Structures are given as structure tokens and as C-alpha cells.
Amino acid sequence: MLLGAAAVVAVLASWAPSGAQSVAGTTVSLTMNRTATLEITPTGQILATSLQPAAARTAQVGLRNIGERPSQVRLRIEPVTGEADPYLGFEIRTDGRRVFRGPLGALRSWTGTAIHLRSGQAVRLTIRVALLDTLPAAAELPEQALTIDTLEQPWAR
Amino acid sequence: MGALSLARPVRAVRLAVLRPLGSFTLWAAVGAAVALAVAAAGPRLLGWQSMTVLTGSMRPLLRPGDVVVDRMIAPASARPGDIVTFHDPGRGGKLVTHRVRFISRRGAMIDVVTRGDANSVGERWSVPADGRIGRVEYRIPHLGYLGQWVGTPLGRLLAIVLPALALAIIELRAVWRSPPAPDPGAEPAAP
């Protein structure tokens, strides 16, 4: 009787579900749309990629001031949920100058550094997004569809 | 005459081997059945819960008909990779058992993203941080089918009648086979 019970216990122990099925990582897409005074090239989706922890991808877009006056441009991303705030890292540069570097949560506010554009001037924006290795083991961050908003203000030179 | 004398030792050997073997098998089966019953229903005494898997969303790990046994835990104790049972608001509050993909805290709430291993789409749900969810500790394949069958009138009848019948047969055989008690008043047999 004990042998039968022991056999059942041994079999049940071998049937304990494993926790290693989950693959860590996420899928990120970045979108940036043109405005009345700012031409974005390419416009719409500029990046769609899967990311593993500590991995990064880069997207490049062209920004051109199509308004008649000089303007300063600031950027932000406002995701609907805050789950990715501490886990996605961003670095935004324009022609070698850093505009922003930090986690997604810090990019919910407009960037402190502005991109200054004279009328007709174009710059290349490099956006680097990384999945930080602070993501808990085996966590699968839900897909992030992020839109980069732009704030254009007159620039008094 | 010779065949008869040979048959007796063979029968005796068979009985000597088969009877303990049969008894051993029977008791091992009883032990296994008791252990299975305890594994499936016993955890309820600890406040755990057991339930039958109804869909294939967690295939190949969990199949329809399997019984899963859940330990009740605080939602914040769940980790990505754990398999948890929760009330899914997207399915009218039905109990669902899926794997945790992501978990985060939002004030007094715990936000959880889960997805069945066989599903391509997950579900998001929230639970108060002081609430409880079930975490699958082990599973018992196919036992749910047995449970369903026992739930039917025929199953219920057989589940009671068959073991009772088996017990009765065992007891009757023991009574018939036991040697008659010596009659204290009887004369000893002449040599």
C-alpha cells in the first residue's frame, strides 16, 4: 500500500509544472507623425522590433521645419500603461547632440533639451531603444506600440 | 496417477507465488488510489483548491481532463513563468489557468498579464494587492475525466458498488478459507 502511495507521490512530483516556458523580452514599435510645421521622413511607423533584455535597436528619421519661422521641437512618449516605464531605455540624438537619455518613464514629460530648427532646416534624429536588463527573469513585457509626440514652439534666436 | 502427483506441487507453487503477488498488487493499487484521492482532494483542507482543466489553452503542459491543484497566494508573490488561476474579467469572471508573463504593481492593485502556452493572445487583469490567486503546484493527468464520470448516476453507483463488492468478496474468501475452529468437546482422532 505504501509502495503504491509512494509511486503516486513520485509521479506527481515529476508532473509539477515547470516555470521555464516563458521567453523574456518584448516587441516594440515606434511611430512618429508629421505635423503642420514639421515634416517627418519616414512618417508613421519608424521601428518595429522584438527585444531581448540588454538588446537595443536604432531608428533614424529626418526632421524638417516646413514652417515659416524658426522653431524649437521637444519630444515625449506617453504610453497608455506604465508597465514598460522602468524597463525600456531611450537615447535620442540629433546630428551627434544628445537630446534625451533615460528610461521611458522619464520621457513622459517633454524633453528638457530642444531641437532648434530654422525655417527649412532639416536634421537627422537617431532614436535608440533598449530593453533594460532590470526586467525580471522570464518576464515577457507586453507589446509596446509607442508614439513619439512633438511639441513645436517658436524659437526666438 | 503420476500426472496427478505432479499437478499438486505445481498448483501449490502457483498458489505460493500468485497469492502474495495478487495481494501485493491489490494493496499497491489501493495505496495508489488513496494517494491520488488525497492528492486531489486533501489540499482543500489546507485552503488550496483543485479544479479540472477544460480547454487546451495550456497545451502541452496541461490538457483537458487534467486536475490542477492550486496553492492560494498573494498576487505579488506570483512571478513570471508561474501558472496561476484567476477570475478573467474578459471571460465574464470565469476561472482561467494561464501562465504569468508580466506582473507590476499600481498602487493598491497588482496588474498581471497572462497567456496560455498554446495561445497567441494574452489577457490583462488586475487584482487587489491584498487579494488571493491560485498558483498551480502540481497536476494529476486525466483525473478530471474520472471525477466527471463519478459525477454521473452510473459512475456514482459503480464507484460505491464495485469497491463494496470487492471488499465483500475478500472478506467472504477469508471466512471460507480459515480452518474450522477445533471443537473442544471432540474426541482426539484415533491413530
Question: What is the structure's pLDDT at A19?
Answer: 58
Predicted confidence (pLDDT) per residue in A99-144, tens digit: 999 999 999 999 999 999 999 999 999 999 999 988 888 889 999 9
User: Is B188 a residue whose pLDDT tops 60?
Assistant: no
Comparing CB atoms, the residue among A5, A19, A24 nearest residue B35 is: A5
Rg (CA), chain A: 23
How far apart are the CA of B181 and the nearest CA of chain A, in angstroms?
31
Q: Decide if B80 touches A, using CB distance below 8 A.
A: yes
Bigger pLDDT: A75 vs B187: A75
Q: Do B28 and A4 touch (CB under 8 A)?
A: yes
Comparing CB atoms, the residue among A2, A6, A19 nearest residue B81 is: A19
Q: Decide if A156 touches B, using CB distance below 8 A.
A: no
Task: Pick the closest to residue B75 from B141, B40, B127 (CA basis).
Answer: B127
What is the phi-psi region of residue B174: left when phi exceeds 0, alpha when psi lies from -120 to 50, beta otherwise?
A: alpha
Q: Decide if B98 touches A, using CB distance below 8 A.
A: no
Predicted confidence (pLDDT) per residue in B151-179, tens digit: 788 888 887 888 888 888 888 888 887 76
Q: Which of A66-75, A90-99, B142-151 has the lowest mean pLDDT?
A: B142-151
Nearest 5°: phi and psi at A156?
A: -90, 110
User: Is A10 a residue whose pLDDT tops 90?
Assistant: no
- DSSP 8-state class, residue A25: B
